[in-house]
Amino acid sequence: MCALKDKKQLIISAAIKCFAQKGFHATSIQEIVDTAGIAKGSVYSYFKSKEDLLFVAIKHEYDRMMSGVLSVANDINLTPRERLAAQFQHMLQVTLEYSDFIATLKNETDLMVNDQMKAFLNDMHKADFQWYCQSILAIYGDDAKPYVFDAAIIIQAVVKHFTYMDRVQLESTELTRFFMDRLDDLVDGMIRKQQKPILNKEQSENNANPCSPDTSFSYEDSLKAVQSIRVYIKQSKLETKIKTASLSYLTVLDHEITKDQIDPIITTAMISHLKSLGLAEILINLNNLEHYALNQ
Amino acid sequence: MCALKDKKQLIISAAIKCFAQKGFHATSIQEIVDTAGIAKGSVYSYFKSKEDLLFVAIKHEYDRMMSGVLSVANDINLTPRERLAAQFQHMLQVTLEYSDFIATLKNETDLMVNDQMKAFLNDMHKADFQWYCQSILAIYGDDAKPYVFDAAIIIQAVVKHFTYMDRVQLESTELTRFFMDRLDDLVDGMIRKQQKPILNKEQSENNANPCSPDTSFSYEDSLKAVQSIRVYIKQSKLETKIKTASLSYLTVLDHEITKDQIDPIITTAMISHLKSLGLAEILINLNNLEHYALNQ
Amino acid sequence: MCALKDKKQLIISAAIKCFAQKGFHATSIQEIVDTAGIAKGSVYSYFKSKEDLLFVAIKHEYDRMMSGVLSVANDINLTPRERLAAQFQHMLQVTLEYSDFIATLKNETDLMVNDQMKAFLNDMHKADFQWYCQSILAIYGDDAKPYVFDAAIIIQAVVKHFTYMDRVQLESTELTRFFMDRLDDLVDGMIRKQQKPILNKEQSENNANPCSPDTSFSYEDSLKAVQSIRVYIKQSKLETKIKTASLSYLTVLDHEITKDQIDPIITTAMISHLKSLGLAEILINLNNLEHYALNQ
Amino acid sequence: MCALKDKKQLIISAAIKCFAQKGFHATSIQEIVDTAGIAKGSVYSYFKSKEDLLFVAIKHEYDRMMSGVLSVANDINLTPRERLAAQFQHMLQVTLEYSDFIATLKNETDLMVNDQMKAFLNDMHKADFQWYCQSILAIYGDDAKPYVFDAAIIIQAVVKHFTYMDRVQLESTELTRFFMDRLDDLVDGMIRKQQKPILNKEQSENNANPCSPDTSFSYEDSLKAVQSIRVYIKQSKLETKIKTASLSYLTVLDHEITKDQIDPIITTAMISHLKSLGLAEILINLNNLEHYALNQ
DNA sequence: GATGAATGAGGGTTCATTCAT
DNA sequence: GATGAATGAACCCTCATTCAT
Mean model confidence pLDDT for chain B: 84
- Asked if residue A28 keeps its beta carbon closer than 7 A to nucleic acid strand F, the reply is yes
pLDDT > 70? residue A215: no
Answer left, alpha or beta for residue B194, where phi above 0 means left and psi between -120 and 50 means alpha.
left
Nearest CB among D106, D150, D161 relative to C153 is that of D161
Which bases of chain F are under 7 A from a protein CB atom? 1-20
Mean model confidence pLDDT for chain A: 83
Write A162-167 long-range contacts (CB < 8 A, 24+).
A162/A92, A162/B153, A162/B157, A163/A91, A163/A92, A163/A95, A163/A102, A164/A102, A164/A103, A164/A106, A164/B208, A165/B206, A165/B207, A165/B208, A165/B209, A166/A99, A166/A102, A166/A103, A167/B206, A167/B209, A167/B212, A167/B215
pLDDT > 60? residue D168: no
Residues A139 and A225 in one domain: no
Which stretches of chain C score pLDDT less than 50? 1-3, 210-212
The CA distance from A258 to C263, in Å, is: 26
Q: Is residue D174 part of a domain?
A: yes
- Which of residues D181, D212, D243 is at a domain's end? D212
Q: Is residue A40 part of a domain?
A: no
Contact D204, C161 (CB under 8 A): no
| Rounded (to 5) percent helix, strand, coil in chain C | 75, 0, 25
Interface of A with B in 120-159 (CB under 8 A): 150, 153-154, 156-158
Residues B143 and B255 in one domain: no
Range of the domain at C273: 219-294
pLDDT score of D43: 95
pLDDT score of C213: 52
Q: What percent of chain D has pLDDT over 70?
A: 89
pLDDT tier for residue A52 given thresholds of 50, 70 and 90: very high
pLDDT tier for residue B1 given thresholds of 50, 70 and 90: very low
Residues A208 and A240 in one domain: no
- Which of residues D183, D212, D241 is at a domain's end? D212
Around Cβ B141, how many Cβ atoms within 10 Å? 12
For the residues D28-52, what does the mean pLDDT come to?
94
Q: Is residue D58 part of a domain?
A: no
Contact A108, B106 (CB under 8 A): yes
Residues C169 and C254 in one domain: no
pLDDT (tens digit per residue) in B154-167? 999 999 888 887 55
pLDDT tier for residue B5 given thresholds of 50, 70 and 90: low
pLDDT (tens digit per residue) in B113-130? 988 888 889 888 888 888
Closest CA to C92 of C204, C171, C197: C171
The CA distance from B215 to A166, in Å, is: 13
Answer left, alpha or beta for residue D194, where phi above 0 means left and psi between -120 and 50 means alpha.
left
pLDDT score of A57: 95
State the best of C16, C24, C168 to mutate against chain D, taking most chain D CBs within 10 Å: C168
Distance of CA C269 to the CA centre of its chain: 25
Phi, psi of C279 (to 5 degrees): -90, 105
Residues A259 and A208 in one domain: no
pLDDT tier for residue B211 given thresholds of 50, 70 and 90: very low
**Protein residue with the closest CA to the C1' atom of nucleotide F17:** D49
Contact D218, C211 (CB under 8 A): no
The CA distance from B226 to B230, in Å, is: 6
CB–CB contact D175 C198 (8 Å): yes
- Which of residues D189, D212, D235 is at a domain's end? D212
pLDDT tier for residue D292 given thresholds of 50, 70 and 90: confident
Residues D131 and D208 in one domain: yes
pLDDT > 60? residue A167: no
pLDDT score of A274: 81
Residues B141 and B258 in one domain: no
pLDDT score of B154: 93
pLDDT score of A17: 92
D7/E2 CA-to-C1' distance in Å: 12
pLDDT score of D38: 92
CB neighbour list of residue B197: distance below 8 Å, 6 or more residues apart: B146, B147, B149, B150, B190
Q: Which residue has the higher pLDDT, B221 or D17?
A: D17
Chain C residue nearest residue A231, CA to CA: C227
Q: Is A207 on the interface with B (CB under 8 A)?
A: yes
pLDDT > 70? residue D258: yes
Residues A119 and A144 in one domain: yes
Contact A54, A24 (CB under 8 A): yes
Residues D81 and D168 in one domain: yes
pLDDT (tens digit per residue) in B166-192? 555 678 888 899 999 999 999 999 999
pLDDT (tens digit per residue) in A72-114? 767 778 888 998 898 888 888 888 888 889 999 989 899 999 8
Closest CA to B4 of B45, B57, B49: B45
- Report yes or no on whether pTM surpasses 0.80: no
For the residues D80-92, what does the mean pLDDT come to?
88
The CA distance from B227 to B224, in Å, is: 5
Q: What percent of chain B has pLDDT over 70?
A: 89
pLDDT (tens digit per residue) in B26-80? 999 999 999 999 999 999 999 999 999 999 999 999 988 888 777 776 777 888 8
CB neighbour list of residue A4: distance below 8 Å, 6 or more residues apart: none
Around Cβ B176, how many Cβ atoms within 10 Å? 20
For the residues A196-204, what does the mean pLDDT come to?
81
Q: Is residue C8 part of a domain?
A: no
Total number of domains in chain D: 2
State the best of A25, A51, A191, A295 to mutate against chain B, taking most chain B CBs within 10 Å: A25
Relative orientation angle of helices B115-140 and B80-94, to the nearest 10 degrees: 140
Q: Is residue B195 part of a domain?
A: yes
pLDDT (tens digit per residue) in D188-239? 999 999 998 988 877 776 665 544 455 567 788 888 889 888 887 887 777 7
Residues B208 and B241 in one domain: no
pLDDT tier for residue A281 given thresholds of 50, 70 and 90: low
Residues B86 and B166 in one domain: yes
Q: Is residue C99 part of a domain?
A: yes
Residues C122 and C167 in one domain: yes
The CA distance from D240 to D229, in Å, is: 16
Interface of C with A in 255-274 (CB under 8 A): 258
pLDDT tier for residue B210 given thresholds of 50, 70 and 90: very low
pLDDT > 60? residue D9: yes
The CA distance from C245 to C234, in Å, is: 11
pLDDT (tens digit per residue) in A109-139? 999 998 888 888 888 888 888 889 988 999 9
Tell me what ipTM this predicted complex has: 0.75
Give the CA angle between residues C247, C250, C252 to the nearest 5°: 115
D3/E1 CA-to-C1' distance in Å: 11
For the residues A237-254, what does the mean pLDDT come to?
77
How distant, in Å, are the alpha carbons of B85, B127, B192, D110 from that of D27?
A: 69, 61, 76, 11
Q: Is residue A33 part of a domain?
A: no
Q: Is C282 on the interface with D (CB under 8 A)?
A: no
Per this entry, what is the length of chain B?
296
pLDDT score of B216: 65
Please give the nucleotide, over all strands, whose C1' is closest to the CA of residue D4. Answer: E1
Q: Is residue B28 part of a domain?
A: no
